[in-house]
Amino acid sequence: MQYHVNGFKPGDPDVFPAAPGHRRAGAPLPQTVDVLIAGSGPAGLCLAAQLARVPQIRTMLVEPRLGPMEKGQADGISVRSMEMFQAFGFAEKVLRESVWINETTFWAPGAEAPLTRVARVQDVPDGSSEMPHVLINQARVHDMFLDLMRNAPTRLEPDYGLKVVGLRVDPAAAEFPVTVTLQHTAPGREDQTAQVRANYVVGCDGARSNVRAAIGGALHGDAAHQAWGVMDVLAVTDFPDWRMKSFVRSQDDGILMVLPREGGHLVRLYVELDALGEHERAADRGMGAGDIIAKAQRIFSPFRLDVKEVVWWSIYEIGHRLTDKFDDVPEDQVATRAPRVMLAGDACHTHSPKAGQGMNVSMGDTFNLGWKLISVLTGRAAPALLHSYSGERRAAAKGLVEFDHKWARVVGARAEDDATTDGLPRVAREFVSNLPFTCGLTIQYERSALTGAPTHQHLATGWPIGKRFHSAPVVRLADARPMQLGHCIEADARWRLFIFAPADDIGHQGGAVATLCDWLEHDPASPVRRHTAQGEDADAVIDTRAVFQQGARALDFGAMPTLLRPRVGRYGLCDYEKVFCAGSKRGEDIFGMRGIDRAAGCMVVVRPDQYVGHVLPLHARNDLAGYFADILRARG
């Protein structure tokens, strides 16, 4: 963490100096904003936390509720989301507060007992990530994003008590083309409305999204016609796996899932309730918390369940739905018009909560969108970049909806259909095979300007182009600190260019790394020079770092290329954190772990959202320059 770059900074390094001229929540509504976000759920807050760090971007976040969430809703955090939290800087806090899911157990009727444990499996496959799968109250995730926002230069906070009720887009307007109608929701103010004009609007306002309706979008799909209850409880039980993630299938009363929650005592139960008629809604049954408890007690029998306190509960029906497009541009106008209104989270895809993907995929949506909006609003990229959001994230959501549809059928199957093969019941077998998906690690963006051709994929087989950058251990040269290479990627809209040195390269003049760095730093054709504005630090847009195969004691930091020892900030201080070694005391070697060609080395381009954009040979300068030229504007 670097924070003395422009002079000594006392106090909490996570609190940035306030940028002048930004409106505080609760003040009179502005006439214009750069970005208006509808909804302060995970998607909206993930986006707002990114935008809040950029002083020149004016953001407004509106939320119909009158205050922040305190309990309920989602709780599962995939390992991919934990990697994203690391980029935001609060992964360690989540790790401390949350419950880690290490194993999952499966219970079913046995030959000699009404319920018996029939399987026990590892929850996250070895080597998947340096992060675990955890459970924590969604409200605490909100709190952490809110803390980032209020400590950011813009001091952004939600405007509670406001919701979007309509909007219109003027495609011909160059500035603030979206006119948004807001309605107050506080008691006594429900008839009051106001209008704000925005350059961009992002609808994170849920499955009944007014933003989606305003741009003519609709959710398409089907429903399983099955009611489920969910409740967070404090309870006394003799069920042995109360602090394990568990699937419990009874003979005649259906299935429930046990999800231990943070704090050591709280537990969430997902409980299968009644089948619904073709046109029936769960609300039509008039069921409540007592019905969920009674059904859970029957499923758990002969184990005892004595609920002492119901912290939160809800009854829902499963639906699997997806909208046609995640933005406001008709297909026949994509070539001539950039998006102005975009959708994220439940506003564009809905599914059951049983796979634990809703909050994770919603945050993934706006982590993808945030850096693109920042790049456009700061002039680094043309507005056409925003087209890539719908293309990339709709494909990811489509995969989720299809997966969830299949998984819901497996979970809801009857006991007699859950046949056991290879020592595992079907639900456990499917669970294991689906682990890479539920960890959030299977998304691979298709070939585009942002995702290069796999021509040189053999140079780094462990980093498939279009997939997330899988971190691995390294040692930082300047201070011999062991760390994860991926942890130098922050949620700051910058690109990362990782240079992996050939076996005999120690960074000295004339070597492949030094020659490449000299070109990157000095040649007007290099992407670092071409896309970095006058007066900006050399790493303001593209952060270049290098990894060598030798140990720290075999390398000389002072002999490294100057691009890897850049002078930054107003004092021109040296940045000592750009050079790494592969070796570690535990014998882990990033070159071997990620299939990097030791003889040739390579370049790996990582997008601001932690996905691999390209893998190239060290000599492929024109290819590297061309890749960035297709995405970023020339500013050098």
Q: What is the pLDDT of residues 538-578, one digit of tens each?
A: 999 999 999 999 999 999 999 999 999 999 999 999 999 99
Residue 281: pLDDT above 80? no
Using the 8-state DSSP alphabet, how is residue 179 labeled? E
Residue with more model confidence, 318 or 514 = 514
Among the residue ranges 331-340, 347-356, 371-380, the one predicted with the least confidence is 347-356
Using the 8-state DSSP alphabet, how is residue 578 labeled? S
- Distance between CA atoms of residues 56 and 154, nearest Å: 9
Residue 480: pLDDT above 90? yes
Q: Supply the pLDDT for residue 404.
A: 77
Q: Supply the pLDDT for residue 418.
A: 56
Q: Supply the pLDDT for residue 384.
A: 97
pLDDT band at 626 (very low <50, low <70, confident <90, very high): very high
Among the residue ranges 437-441, 458-462, 465-469, the one predicted with the least confidence is 437-441
Q: Supply the pLDDT for residue 420.
A: 58
pTM above 0.85, yes or no: yes
Q: Supply the pLDDT for residue 320.
A: 80
Q: Residue 105 CA to chain centroid, in angstroms? A: 27
- Distance between CA atoms of residues 506 and 517, nearest Å: 13
Among positive and negative, which fits the CA dihedral 78, 80, 86, 88? negative
C-beta neighbour count of 20 within 10 angstroms? 7
Residue 244: pLDDT above 70? yes
Model confidence over 103-161: pLDDT tens digits?
999 999 988 888 999 999 999 999 999 999 999 999 999 999 999 999 999 999 999 99
- Distance between CA atoms of residues 106 and 518, nearest Å: 58
Q: Supply the pLDDT for residue 356.
A: 66
Among the residue ranges 60-69, 415-424, 427-436, 555-564, the one predicted with the least confidence is 415-424
Residue 280: pLDDT above 90? no
Tell me the mean pLDDT in the region 223-236: 87
Domains of the chain (ranges, CATH numbers): 32-71+138-218+324-403 (3.50.50.60), 99-131+223-318 (3.30.9.10), 454-629 (3.40.30.20)
On average, the pLDDT of the chain sits at: 93
Q: Supply the pLDDT for residue 423.
A: 65
**Greatest CA span in the chain, whole angstroms?**
77
Tell me the mean pLDDT in the region 15-26: 92
DSSP string, 360-384: HHHHHHHHHHHHHHHHHHTTSS-GG
Model confidence over 338-362: pLDDT tens digits?
999 999 999 999 877 666 688 999 9
**What is the percent of the chain with per-residue pLDDT over 90, rounded to a whole number?**
81
